[in-house]
Amino acid sequence: MIKKIASVFLGLLILSFPASVGAEISVFVSVPPQKYFTEQVGGERVRVSVLVEKGQDPHTFEPLPAQMAALSRAKLYLSIGLPFERSLLPRLRKINPGLRVFPADRGVEKIMGKDEEHHGHTDEHGHDHDHGGSDPHVWNGVREAGIIAENILAALTDLDPAGAEHYVRNYRNFKARLDKLDSELRELFRGKEGTAFLVFHPAWGYLAREYGLDEVAIESEGKEPKASDLAALISSAKERGIKSILISPQFSRRTAEIIAGNIGANVETVDPLAEEWEENIRAAAHTIAAAAK
Ligand code: ZN
């Protein structure tokens, strides 16, 4: 009897897990927040791998041989507009001609002109670091996240039409959460427009644009500022009453602390590449808002 029940049960289990088990779509993305977005839309139908792992610098990234091997078997690459993709994608097309590449940043209105100033990294690896003049940190905007999710929906539906209904439902749920987050942040920053905050690496430009904040970068041309720039930064930060300095774990704390000591501000660590995207955006926003007058 027990055996019979067990076998019926087993049969049901097999029935409730159709062919999709072990046959998820292998999707590659550039940075951890994209993994979050892709999983929100793709759910259990996708298996997402991130190229730039926690603690790595996406501006000087080079894939490991093992990553290239995995990429040669991937089905889909969701690019995001980072400079390393420009040299990587043509190589990927060669080793994996069947790979679909979908620009997840398509349709995002990019912040222009910050590039030369903040992202002109020295070319240590012999490849192109030119961003084409725009701020690549699109994943840190709530509105931009919605556009990225919509692109992911299009890419997944195209690759896996059988999952269309599932993807649309997931996308709508996620979009509703994004809208809620947006109203929450709008409320948080109401009356605080014009608030300036310092960041070592300027990764929060899209958040700043949306809620009328002013992101001021400490680094210059991707490097520590010169002593004269630092002095100018300190006096302007004093003048503007800046009370909050954000640093990311990928960059050094030293300069931020020198400035903080001079202007009486707090140094807060916020990761612009966290995979727990939603929680992280909320934390970053609250940190900036708490220091506003
Ligand atoms: Zn960056």
pLDDT per residue as tens digits for the range 222-265: 888 999 999 999 999 999 999 889 998 877 788 899 999 999 99
Tell me the CA–centroid distance for residue 16 and ligand 1, in Å. Answer: 44
Measuring CA to CA, which residue among 212, 153, 214, 213 is closest to residue 178? Answer: 153
Contact 246, 205 (CB under 8 A): no
Tell me the CA–centroid distance for residue 158 and ligand 1, in Å. Answer: 30
Tell me the CA–centroid distance for residue 243 and ligand 1, in Å. Answer: 22
Tell me the CA–centroid distance for residue 201 and ligand 1, in Å. Answer: 6
Tell me the CA–centroid distance for residue 20 and ligand 1, in Å. Answer: 37
Tell me the CA–centroid distance for residue 257 and ligand 1, in Å. Answer: 20
- Say what the pLDDT of residue 220 is: 80
User: Which stretch of DSSP H or E encloses residue 184?
Assistant: helix 164-188
Point out which residues pair with 268 in neighbouring strands.
246
Tell me the CA–centroid distance for residue 120 and ligand 1, in Å. Answer: 11
Tell me the CA–centroid distance for residue 206 and ligand 1, in Å. Answer: 12
- Helix axis angle for 142-159 and 164-188, nearest 10°, is 180
Tell me the C-alpha to C-alpha distance, in Å, between residue 177 and each of 149, 170, 217.
12, 11, 30
pTM of the model: 0.86
- Say what the pLDDT of residue 48 is: 96
- Say what the pLDDT of residue 7 is: 56
Tell me the CA–centroid distance for residue 163 and ligand 1, in Å. Answer: 34
Tell me the CA–centroid distance for residue 197 and ligand 1, in Å. Answer: 16
* Beta carbons within 10 angstroms of residue 62's beta carbon: 13
Tell me the CA–centroid distance for residue 137 and ligand 1, in Å. Answer: 6
Tell me the CA–centroid distance for residue 95 and ligand 1, in Å. Answer: 28
Q: Look up tokens 């905007």; give the residue.
A: 141
Tell me the CA–centroid distance for residue 52 and ligand 1, in Å. Answer: 12
Tell me the CA–centroid distance for residue 125 and ligand 1, in Å. Answer: 17
- Say what the pLDDT of residue 2 is: 54
Tell me the CA–centroid distance for residue 207 and ligand 1, in Å. Answer: 14
Tell me the CA–centroid distance for residue 183 and ligand 1, in Å. Answer: 26
Low-confidence ranges of the chain (pLDDT < 70): 1-22, 114-132, 293
Tell me the CA–centroid distance for residue 22 and ligand 1, in Å. Answer: 35
pLDDT digits (tens, 9 = 90+) for 153-194: 999 999 999 999 999 999 999 999 999 999 999 999 999 999
Tell me the CA–centroid distance for residue 60 and ligand 1, in Å. Answer: 10
Tell me the CA–centroid distance for residue 263 and ligand 1, in Å. Answer: 25
Mapped to the 3 state alphabet, what secondary structure does 223-247 carry?
ECCCHHHHHHHHHHHHHCCCCEEEE
Q: Is the dihedral of CA 134, 137, 143, 144 positive or negative?
A: positive
- Say what the pLDDT of residue 121 is: 41
